[in-house]
Structures are given as structure tokens and as C-alpha cells.
Structure 1
Amino acid sequence: MAVKLPPLIKVAPWALTIALFLFWEAVCTGLSIPDYLMPAPSAIWVAGVEYAGPIMMHATQTLFTTLAGFAIAVVVGMVLGLAVGASPLIYQACYPLLVGFNSIPKVAFVPVLVVWFGIGTVPAILTAFLISFFPVVVNVATGLATLEPELEDVLRSLGAKRWDIMTKVGLPRSLPYFFASLKVAITLAFVGSVISETVASNLGIGYLMMSASSSMNMPLVFAGLIVIGVMGVVMYELFAVLEKRLTGWAHRNPNAPG
């Protein structure tokens, strides 16, 4: 039976968020900070209402590129994770290359992608993919590679083949790792798509923020930042709910953070 969270825990995120915005508003108003340096939340709200149409259009584009890159990252990450986690040989061969590739700042790939595919949606999708697939690979591989040797010995003694162990035990056991990686990867995918949009696109929240900053419209810049943050939180919570529903058996404490 699911244990309900105490009311205080439920309202804590909302209360802290409101308190931070009130503090932000008080500091900007009390110190008379100009909007072109640090806009107050009230000024950001006005800009959000005024530019609601363009913000919605660019946010839709960013969400599309992020989800497209994230979907590719999940597929590629799953395949690589299964290969790396199931085979010690592939693990030893591929893991140093994956770590080295992940260490390269992904913004460095954007000019290359622009040369290959031109300015637009494709570089944003590929940047989101490049920056988000590594957590999926690592977590899936970890879930498979950390299967207890004693359990494997028992299953083999019962006649199970390597494929049976991986598909019937290894894969279900790696699901908590997989869903944990999705929560990390989706936030990184937003980072990748916005980075590309600021450099090599004429659509998206990143492009909107760059255009607004060039005209010193900082309330609109911060409105774009908040929109990205909200989309990231929503997608994170979506995967957290899926994780709890599909891998509830792996969580002993139902009140633990998702």
C-alpha cells in the first residue's frame, strides 16, 4: 500500500519557490536594481504576458528538438548500455572511448554540426542527443554488470543460458538504473538543445534569449530561462512518476525523493 506524503512535504517545493521569488522581488525593488541588470519577477511576468505568443512558439520548438534528441539518446544509450553491460570485452574496449567523448564540451560540436547540416533544427537535435546519451549508457551498463555472481551461478545451475539471465533477470534489475538515467538525461537534453539554439538556429528559446539580450530586453531573457526550467521540471517529474509506477518494487521507502 502506498504511503501518502505528509502535507508539509507536498507543499514544501511550492512554498520554497514562492519564498525565493518574493525575496528576489524584494531585493530588486529595495535596491532599485534596473531591469537591464536584474529584472524583478514582476517585470519578468509582464514580459512573459506581453510576448506570450513568441515564447510559446519558441518553447514548442525547443521542446520538440529536446524530445527528439532525447529519444535518439534513449535508443542509442540502451543499445550501447546492453552491449557494454553484457560483455566484459565490449566494456573494456568501449568504456574509455565513451568517457573521453563525454569529457569533450558539446558546444564544441555545434560548429561542426552546422557545417554538416546547416543552421536549424538538426544541429539542436543532435546536440541534445550528444549531451544526454551518456547517462543512459552508464546506468544501463551498471545495472547489467552489477548482477550478483551468486545469482548468476544459481540460474546457470538451473539450466539458464546467458541470454535468459540477461533478459529475464538482468534487464528487469537494470530498470531502476534506466529510469534514474532518464531523469538526468532529459534535463541534459534541454541544455544541449538550448546551447545549439543560441549558436546555430533561428528558432527556439535559446534563439529568443539571444535576440532579447542583444536588445537588452533582460525581462524576456529571464522569462525564457524560467520557461526552460519549468519544462525541465515537468519532464523530470513525468519520468519520476513512471519510475515509481514501473519500478516501485525497487524502492523500500515510498517517501524517498524521486
Structure 2
Amino acid sequence: MTSHHRKLIERWSPWVLLLAVVILWQVICSGFSVPEFLFPSPLAIWTQLVEFKGVIAMHAWRTFWVTMAGFGIAIVVGVLLGFLIGSSRVAYAAVYPLMTAFNALPKAAFVPILVVWFGIGVGPAILTAFLISFFPITVNIATGLATLEPELEDVLRVLGAKRWDVLVKVGLPRSLPYFYASLKVAITLAFVGTTVSEMTAANEGIGYLLVSAGSSMQMGLAFAGLLVIGAMAMAMYELFSAIEQHTTRWAHRGSQGE
């Protein structure tokens, strides 16, 4: 098999698998006459998506910009905090375990606290998206800086480079692959955080739509909301993947000839 055929298979395999799952899903729902209020078929979900496209679009836009606001804050805080932690081995050893413990806390538990502090609305949703997505960015930036080869750092010091020069001119570029990898993980987590917050502390957004549709037994509408969330998350994931491929080719040059 040539590399061209292999790339074509890799490119289309997710779509083929998705199509197979959808067909199997539809066959099972139709063959066993599964009630739509229990488990809607893909056809029923599509019907609800078209019927309520205006409402879904309104809620989706709210979820999208709230998620991007929280994600933007997570990028700024994550990069700055990751730089501070990764620039010192003592700071890395001291702070990393504490951040790991914080990341283990369920972020949904913060929503009632955020509601008390900021009220029902965009505040808790933005902060929940931030809290759930900044950790991967911080950890990856810090790891990229903290794992800088001592031999390389020694050579640069001999050549007259200061610690700041080493971090900015060598450490940060070296951390770019880690950074983009963290963005692809963090953006999907940010959508999760926003949706969870909207389910309990909002009157707009896909999370609110899911609760509303579930309470009225409109499972097709609820699944349509989930489909939109997944589509937005995957679109942002692919965007960061494309940016990564165009800006960090040097980090993958060894695998391009495979």
C-alpha cells in the first residue's frame, strides 16, 4: 500500500466509521421499534434539528461565545502560569502536585459556588469553562520548559545566553507542540464545562436546552443539542490541528517521510 492510499484511508476512515454507526443506529431503532422518547433514531434527531434550527442556533451561539471567552482566559492564564512554573525546577516540583490535586476536583461542584458569587448567567459558565480547560495548557507549557535538556542549556550558557534568553528563545519554541496539543484537549473540555454550567445556572445555551428538552421528553431535540455541541468542539479541534501542522512542521519532520 502506497503512502498516498494510506493517507486517503486515514482521512476518510472516521467518516466511514461514523456512517456505519449511524446506519446501525437507525436499523436498530427501526427494527426494534424503539420509542423516540427513550432513544431517538438518527432520522428523528435530524427532523428535530431541522424543525428547531432557529432555537438551536440561538442557544448554540450563546454556548459558543461563552466557551470561547472562558477558553481565551484559560489560554492567557495557562501560558503565564505554565511559564512561571516551568521556568524554575523548584516551582515545578512545588506547584505541580497541588495543581494535579486541584484538577482532580469535579468542576461541576464549583457551579453552585460560582452562582452564589456571580449569579445565574454567563459568569458561572465562563468561569467553569476556564477552570476545566486551563490545567492542560498550564501543565504542557510547564512540562515543555521544565524538560529542556540540561546539556543544551549548558551550551547556551557558555555561549553567553542568560536564563531568560534560554527560556524565551529556546524553551518557548520547544514548547509549541506541547501547547497546541493542550489546546486540542482544552477546547473540548471548555465546551463540557460550559454545558455543565448551563444545565444548572443559566436560562440560555445548549446545556439549558438539554434540560428543557429532557423535562418535556423531547429526546430528539436533546440529542440534536448534543450533536451541535460535538460539531462545534470538533470544528475547533480541527482548527487547532491545522494551525499546529502549519506552525510546528519542524517538530514532526522526522515522521513526514513515513
TM-score (norm. length: structure 2): 0.96
Structure 1 counterpart of 2:167: 166
CA distance in 2, matches of 1:83, 1:209: 40
CA distance in 1, matches of 2:48, 2:124: 29
Residues 255 and 215 (structure 1), Cα distance of their counterparts in 2 relative to 1, 3 Å cut: farther
Structure 2 counterpart of 1:136: 137
Measure how far apart 1:232 and its partner are.
0.7
Measure how far apart 1:89 and its partner are.
2.5
Paired residue secondary structure (2:39): coil
| Paired residues of 2:156 and 2:166 also in contact (CA < 8 A) | yes
Structure 2 counterpart of 1:253: 255
Measure how far apart 1:255 and its partner are.
8.4
Structure 2 counterpart of 1:118: 119
| Paired residues of 2:92 and 2:146 also in contact (CA < 8 A) | no
Residues 227 and 254 (structure 1), Cα distance of their counterparts in 2 relative to 1, 3 Å cut: farther
Structure 2 counterpart of 1:127: 128
Structure 1 counterpart of 2:106: 105
- Offset from partner CA, 1:208-245 (integer Å, 9 cap, x none): 01000000000000000111111111000000000111
Residues 233 and 84 (structure 1), Cα distance of their counterparts in 2 relative to 1, 3 Å cut: same
CA distance in 2, matches of 1:32, 1:233: 31
1:47-196 correspondence to structure 2 within 5 Å: 47-196=48-197
Measure how far apart 1:15 and its partner are.
1.1
CA distance in 2, matches of 1:200, 1:255: 50
Q: What amino acid is the match of 2:255? A: N
**CA RMSD after TM alignment:** 1.3
| Paired residues of 2:45 and 2:220 also in contact (CA < 8 A) | yes
- Offset from partner CA, 1:149-200 (integer Å, 9 cap, x none): 1101111111110011001100100000000000000000000000000010
* Aligned structure 1 segments of 4 or more residues deviating by more than 6 angstroms: none
Paired residue secondary structure (1:38): coil
| Residue 43 of structure 2 is aligned to residue 21 of structure 1 | no
CA distance in 1, matches of 2:46, 2:12: 23
1:181-220 correspondence to structure 2 within 5 Å: 181-220=182-221
Measure how far apart 1:254 and its partner are.
3.7
- Offset from partner CA, 1:102-141 (integer Å, 9 cap, x none): 1110000000000000001110000000000000010000
CA distance in 2, matches of 1:99, 1:73: 16
Measure how far apart 1:99 and its partner are.
1.2
Measure how far apart 1:16 and its partner are.
1.1
CA distance in 2, matches of 1:9, 1:117: 46
CA distance in 2, matches of 1:82, 1:150: 20
Identity of aligned residues (%): 60
Q: What amino acid is the match of 2:132? A: I
